[in-house]
Chains A and B, each alone.
Chain A
Amino acid sequence: MTEPVPRALIAEDEPLLAAALQQDLARVWPELQMVAVVGDGRSAVRQALALRPDVLFFDIRMPGQSGIEAAAELADAWPDDQPFPALVFATAYDQYAVQAFEAQAVDYLLKPIQADRLARTVAKVQGLLAQRASAVAATGAAPAALSAALPSPELEATMAQLRALLGAPGVGTAPAAAPAAAATRLSVIQASQGTQIHMVPVGEVVYFEAADKYVRVLTAEREYLIRTALKELIEQLDPQEFWQVHRSTLVRATAIATVTRDEAGKQHLSLRGRPERLPVSRMYAHLFRAM
């Protein structure tokens, strides 16, 4: 059986740095095949899903979507019958990010990337891929095929890491304020509608849904639009009261009636007080387990 050629994808918004990483990789890992080099997070997710590489090199600060957010979205959409790619983050200088990476044992490269540091990372990734290949050879089948509809333990571990990174200060899209800025809890949502401002008690909200530049605020009776980022809203709400079940949804925990898993393994929520069914992303599926 011939060894499959390892394939990689680079997401880096600075063209020179992307080209340089590609060249350096060609030197330390000649067999590696570069399937795509993209300049932003959304393209990275799209291309990775289409091309299914084995290794991902993601820059942290990228336009549109940060490397970590892109990785989280990718983990959500990644098919179950394939192992999740080995993930390497790159950052120029982000003390928070580096702390978070260290804490989560995620591999990262500091820019400017030094040749020997890159070689060490490459050796680590090669080891991981070899380990996977031998596991496949031993069972004679793709490992995830044995337990269809359930994410592999590796993907579970990756998602746990990404969840921690997304929650870590200074790692998201915006260079966030210092962690000390503990926002005060919100008790009323102020939603403007025409010339009026509606005062919506947070206690009446069933769920929040991000929609483009807005957030939809849904109570049992009505719907409002506010121009606040969901991320900012999350910081001002009680995490026990509202659960994030998807990148774009925040649900009142006590309003969730049932959680249903479909044939594809996807979970959906039905709510008390609202007719909609909300999808649960894989990143947050760990919230719902029978007691």
Chain B
Amino acid sequence: MKLRREFNGVSKLRHYLQVVAFTLVVATIQCTFMPDKPYGPPVVYSVLIGTFTWAIIDLGRELIPSAAETGWPQGWQGIALVMVGIVVGYLAGTLLADTLCVHYFHFYPAGSLISGADQRTSILITAIAGLVGTFYFYAVNKSAYLEGKMAEARMHASESRLKLLETQLEPHMLFNTLANLRVLIGTDPTRAQHMLDRMIAYLRATLSASRSTQHPLALEFERLRDYLELMAVRMGPRLAYTLDLPEALRDVPVPPLLLQPLVENAIRHGLEPQVEGGHITVRASTQESPHGPLLVIEVQDTGAGLPATLPTPGPGQSFGLAQVRERLATLHGAAGALELIAIQPSGTSATVTFPLKSAAIP
């Protein structure tokens, strides 16, 4: 996000006051090392040189298209600005200070004011002070910028975590499940308890999913069973499902709730729109490839099928699929894939494929 920085008078005034304070410090140090000279002139010179240098650099950088990060011109423009600022600041400041000293303070005449050695010292002090001051403001700007960036990144991260939680704890699903529970408590307490247990397991898995990085495929299938059982209570005979996990694949590590959005999509976009409901099959298998064995998990439904056009997916759907893709990419790079195809006569098949670590197979 590029923000056009706006001219801020208060911040410029603050900069200027800092500069003045800095020049006073410089003058004081100068006097400390040359106690035989009067304190007045160095202060006048120092403040005036500082003022001109500040005016050229701090106001000048507003006229040059500045870099968004630091508010400073980039490359040679930045260096040139500082150089011009210091040189012109020195010359103009000295000239004005000479005039002021002669006319108002009646110190020694301009010619004898600065000897060769004094002039060199003066130039050196200006150069060092100018560079130090410039570096100070540069660092302050940069750290403010980085802090802003960090706050922005933090906001993004918590926003996407909230979004993830919202999709997983979809309020519509939650309240409908609670409505069913409320009914069962009165009519069939045993079944209500069973449903509540499923819901507890589902909620626990959802809330802790972000914390653990991998769990065995068998556990992943258990979580799918919790979800499908909850949905089966709600949908009655409209939902039938099969979970097919070969014994050999039970211990394969997978990211928790990776498959959850796929099953949710199968219900929401496949079965729910159909009056007669349908069947969901989740099947794990292996497949040989040139780069070693692959784990293939297929979520298949006999539902309404992919919409004819996919321009405006619902907020949940696109986010769910994007999230699965993102997690696969993080863990397996290009080797992980999610494929969505329409199946005949109706329905959708979502297939997740990623490399099987050979150690995971007994």
23 example contacts (A-B, Cβ-Cβ < 8 A) are as follows: A14-B179, A16-B183, A17-B179, A19-B187, A20-B182, A20-B186, A20-B187, A43-B275, A61-B172, A63-B238, A63-B274, A63-B277, A64-B274, A92-B171, A92-B172, A93-B176, A94-B172, A112-B178, A112-B179, A175-B268, A176-B314, A232-B309, A232-B312
Query: Do B180 and A63 touch across chains, with their CB atoms under 8 A apart?
Result: no
Tell me which residues across on chain A come within 8 A of B234, comparing CB atoms: 14, 16-17
A interface residues, how many (CB within 8 angstroms): 34
Q: Which residues of A contact B273 (CB under 8 A)?
A: 63-64, 173
Given A14-B236, A175-B314, do A92 and B179 touch, yes or no (CB 8 Å)?
Answer: yes
In the bound complex, residues from chain A placing their C-beta under 8 Å from that of B307 are 229
> Do B175 and A16 touch across chains, with their CB atoms under 8 A apart?
no
* Alpha-carbon separation in the docked complex, A14 to B316 (Å): 22
Q: Which residue on chain B has the smallest CB distance to residue A21?
A: B183
Is there contact, CB below 8 Å, between A112 and B175? yes
Chain B residues, Cβ within 8 Å of A228: 308-309
Q: Answer yes or no: B184 CB below 8 A from chain A CBs.
A: yes
Which 5 A-B pairs have CB atoms at the shortest separation, nearest pair first? A227-B308, A112-B179, A20-B183, A92-B175, A93-B171
Residues of A with C-beta under 8 A to B183: 16-17, 19-20
The interface of chain A, by Cβ under 8 A from chain B, is 13-17, 19-20, 39-40, 42-43, 61, 63-64, 92-94, 110-113, 173-178, 181, 183, 213, 227-229, 232
* Residues of B contacting A229 in the complex (Cβ-Cβ under 8 angstroms): 307-309
Q: How far is the CA of A175 from the CA of B178 in the complex (A)?
A: 20
| Other contacts beyond A14-B176, A20-B179, A63-B275: 5, CB < 8 A | A16-B234, A92-B179, A111-B175, A112-B179, A227-B309
Q: Is the CB of A213 within 8 A of B308?
A: yes
Residues of chain A contacted by B274 (CB below 8 angstroms): 63-64
Candidates B179, B314, B315; contact of A113 at CB < 8 Å: B179
B62 CB–A CB distance under 8 Å: no
Closest CB of chain B to A235's CB: distance in Å?
8
B81 at the interface (CB under 8 A from A): no
Does A177 contact B178, Cβ atoms closer than 8 Å? Answer: no
Query: Roughly how many angstroms separate A42 CA and B273 CA in the complex, as a whole number?
Result: 12
Q: How far is the CB of A168 from chain B (nearest CB, A)?
A: 16
Is B229 engaged at the interface, CB distance under 8 Å to the other chain?
Answer: no
B182: nearest chain-A partner, CB-CB: A112
Q: Please indicate which of the listed interface residues B176, B273, B315 has the most CB atoms of chain A within 10 Å of its own CB.
A: B176
Q: A177-B312, A213-B308, A228-B309 are in contact. Are A14 and B172 (CB under 8 A)?
A: no
Docked Cα-Cα span, A14 to B230, in Å, equals: 12
**B233 close to A (CB within 8 Å):** yes
B240 CB to closest chain A CB (Å) equals 15
The docked-state distance in angstroms from the alpha carbon of A244 to that of B242 is 44
Query: Max chain A CB contacts within 10 Å: which of B184, B315, B316?
Result: B315
User: CA separation between A291 and B83, bound complex, in Å?
Assistant: 78
Instruction: Give Cα A227 to B306, complex, Å.
Output: 12
Q: In the complex, are the beta carbons of B309 and A14 less than 8 A apart?
A: no
Check if B314 sits within 8 Å of A16, measured CB to CB: no
In whole angstroms, what is the CA distance A110 to B182 when docked?
Answer: 13
Do residues B312 and A14 form an inter-chain contact, with CB atoms below 8 A? no
- Whether B179 pairs with A111 at a CB distance below 8 angstroms is yes
